[in-house]
Structure 1
Amino acid sequence: MNYSVFFQNKYRYWFILALATYTYVNTAVCRVYDYFQMPIEWYQAYLSIILITLITWEWSRINQPFFERWFDGEKNIIKRLGLFFVFGLLGSIIFTCMIVVAFEHWVLHIPMSLDNPLKLTLTYTSLINLLFHLVNAVVFFMGKYKSKQLEAEELLRMNTQAQLQSIRSQINPHFLFNNLNVLSSLVLKDKEEANSFIEAFSKVYHYILRNQDKELIELQKEIEFLQPYVYLLQQRFPHSVELKTEIDERWKNTYVVPVALQMLVENAIKHNVLSSNRPLEIKIKANGTNDLEITNNLQPKLTKEPSSNIGLSNISQRYELITGKQIKVNSNEKEFKVSLPLIEVNAYESSNH
């Protein structure tokens, strides 16, 4: 970490000039020179203040790299800043005494005195040295805080990406297992139907491989993806599943989590009885609010299958990690409904620039 940001600032000489000017104006307004009977012209006083301020700054700037090398490491920060301040103070006092003596002898032509001029000048030197080192410490700790904050944000981002990758990896095995079982039975019974199934299966699987690493995807693409997926469902459960979509045009350009619809439909099939006499009705609707509603009628199985909680938990975690929003789950005696937040196009695109 660079500790020399403050003293090495490219605008330091402007800062020194501004501080010296401010100091002189205050001494002039308060008539300090008249009060202490100091025989000095205004430009001489102004020049001496500029010179002392400059030397105090430059002494610390030149010596700071040595203290950084001698007291490197997190444990030596306070010791380094403290000794750096003391060393800067001692050096600036010595230089100030030399300047005052030379000024009295060569400019004012008066005998050297330890009275008011030197005392006032040393007081100013001590105060500005303290000011410089306090600001330097503040700048240092602010930079350190910002650096730690950036590190924390980077760790959080990496952790989020790792969680997302772990969650996404849960999708493929579940999808493959169900459809490969259907395919194996079709190959033995009807080769032509098996070819059609393979074609639809390849489209669905290609969509999953191409889009599962994306954070969000357009709702229109998710709806199009359902067409070959519905065909796969019809092969698995002939005349037992009814899927209806009701999506207004205005919502088709919004975003959802990839493969969320497929997982919710699969989840509904897993936990309900399916038969041609009692088909499972699944409705996907977006026509009034900023949510996409996926609803199915409840006809639960008498023997519940052990749940791994991959479906809803997977979608919920991805929504929370990617958008900070949460899905809504509601159920009653007749139906089960999941509401997915629809992400506006502009909001999502702007967050990824």
Structure 2
Amino acid sequence: MQRYFIDNPTFRLLAPPVYGTLVYIQVLLAFDSAGELLENYFSQEQLLCILLTFLVFELNRLIIKILQQKSHVWKGRLRKQIISQLFFSLLSTALLVSSILSLYFSQLVGLSVFTVELLIFNLIFTITSVLYNLLYISVLYLGKENETKLREEQELKQKIEHELHRFKNEINPDFFYTSMESLISLLHKDLDLADEFIGKLAAVYRYVLSNRQTELVEINKELSIVNEFLNLLNHKYQNAISLKVQGKGQYWKQVKVIPGTLISLIECIVETTIVNTIQPLVIELYRDSDNYFVMETPLNDRLHLVVERKACINELQRAYSLYSNEPIVKMKAYDKLLIKIPEIKLIEEDNLTTK
């Protein structure tokens, strides 16, 4: 059960003396006798104010606790619950203050008429009761708002994780059917090439299946399986697809990607681009100056795009939002298509231990 400030022992012990002293000063100012504060600072009237503050705080706390336990009665009607809480708090506070003051002035002080004092003390402590309840209600609302935001964040995180899991486990059926057609063709032509083709196809699917539970892999590892993937595609496109990786190998060793990122991007590019021996597809992979790595291809769009692959960038963006706040950028510049993926770098343990 969540604990609020009203249950904090420090608040319950320290707040009454501080607030009671302030009430005592207000009472002296109300009766135009502030000079008594210096003459007799710690008087029995001050003790009375502290005692009343303590009792009023505890009474309001008790009423809040009782209404919390009876919250099922309101059936989610929070406004009625708050109104009832304020009503019972003000009524109980007025009865308590009137009773304590009547005993104090009649029994200890010996006064028979203390109407003005009663009105002033009741006014001060009813305002105190309202402030106490408003402070509790504001904290209550803030807590509920934070719980709602945390719940929304948790739901969003679960949704993103689901999208990530789905992205990593997605196997394009078109690629599978195309591969089967190529394999059947090779079986009739060359059994050795067919056997080699099966090995490469098995390697690609083994990579996809073995990395289902892996969050990130080195881009070098992804590139090694991309080469096998391109060899499979080139059986259909007659070696018209090639990949050129620019930059030093050390950089590509540091960068991490979600498993299947490059495969998905190449699929998206191939299925939305005209590819043949006359118009070969050269894919360049390099790093730019904005902490992105870029996949660049000649701009040669098909007239009819595959509907399922139009959303591939959006799927990839949802998956990457779990690791980076930077967006995936797809842009056309002159006669080039550029897809920019934000870098994901992890600090190596060796670097941490040496620092």
What's the TM-score bracket when you normalise by the shorter of the two chains? 0.7 to 0.9
Within-5 A mapping of 1:214-253: 214=214, 216-248=216-248, 249-253=250-254
Within-5 A mapping of 1:93-172: 93-108=94-109, 110-168=110-168, 170-172=170-172
Instruction: State the partner residue of 1:339.
Output: 340
Q: CA deviation at 1:85?
A: 1.8
Q: Is the 8 A contact 1:220 1:252 kept in 2?
A: yes
Counterpart AA for 2:262: L
Instruction: State the partner residue of 2:328.
Output: 327
Q: For 1:312 and 1:35, how far apart are their aligned partners in 2? A: 74
Counterpart AA for 1:9: N
Q: CA deviation at 1:52?
A: 0.5
Gaps of 5+ in 2: 348-355
Q: CA deviation at 1:136?
A: 1.5
Q: For 1:300 and 1:91, how far apart are their aligned partners in 2? A: 78
Counterpart AA for 1:274: N
Instruction: State the partner residue of 2:350.
Output: none
Gaps of 5+ in 1: 347-353
Q: CA deviation at 1:102?
A: 2.5
Deviations 1:139-192 (A, max 9, x none): 121122122222222332333344445555544424423323322333343333
Deviations 1:252-273 (A, max 9, x none): 3123343222223233433223
Q: Is the 8 A contact 2:160 2:319 kept in 1?
A: no
Q: For 1:138 and 1:300, how far apart are their aligned partners in 2? A: 58
| Range moving further from structure 2, 43-52 or 223-232 | 223-232
Q: For 1:79 and 1:288, how far apart are their aligned partners in 2? A: 59
Aligned pair in 2 of structure 1 residues 201, 267: CA closer, same or farther (>3 Å)?
same
Q: CA RMSD in A?
A: 3.4
Q: Is the 8 A contact 1:33 1:40 kept in 2?
A: no
Q: CA deviation at 1:35?
A: 6.5
Deviations 1:267-296 (A, max 9, x none): 343322322x65432222226442222223
Q: For 1:6 and 1:257, how far apart are their aligned partners in 2? A: 45
| Residues 1:178 and 2:178 are matched in the alignment | yes
Instruction: State the partner residue of 1:7.
Output: 6
| Residues 1:274 and 2:276 are matched in the alignment | yes
Aligned pair in 2 of structure 1 residues 171, 318: CA closer, same or farther (>3 Å)?
farther
Q: CA deviation at 1:65?
A: 3.3
Deviations 1:170-228 (A, max 9, x none): 44424423323322333343333333222222222122123355554432222222233
Q: Is the 8 A contact 2:169 2:208 kept in 1?
A: no
Q: For 2:18 and 2:131, how far apart are their aligned partners in 1? A: 14
Counterpart AA for 2:196: S
Deviations 1:227-261 (A, max 9, x none): 33233334444443332211332353123343222
TM-score when normalising by structure 1? 0.81
Q: For 1:298 and 1:134, how far apart are their aligned partners in 2? A: 63
**Number of matched pairs:** 341
Q: Is the 8 A contact 1:281 1:297 kept in 2?
A: yes
Deviations 1:33-65 (A, max 9, x none): 737999998330121011101111111222333
Q: For 1:60 and 1:299, how far apart are their aligned partners in 2? A: 74
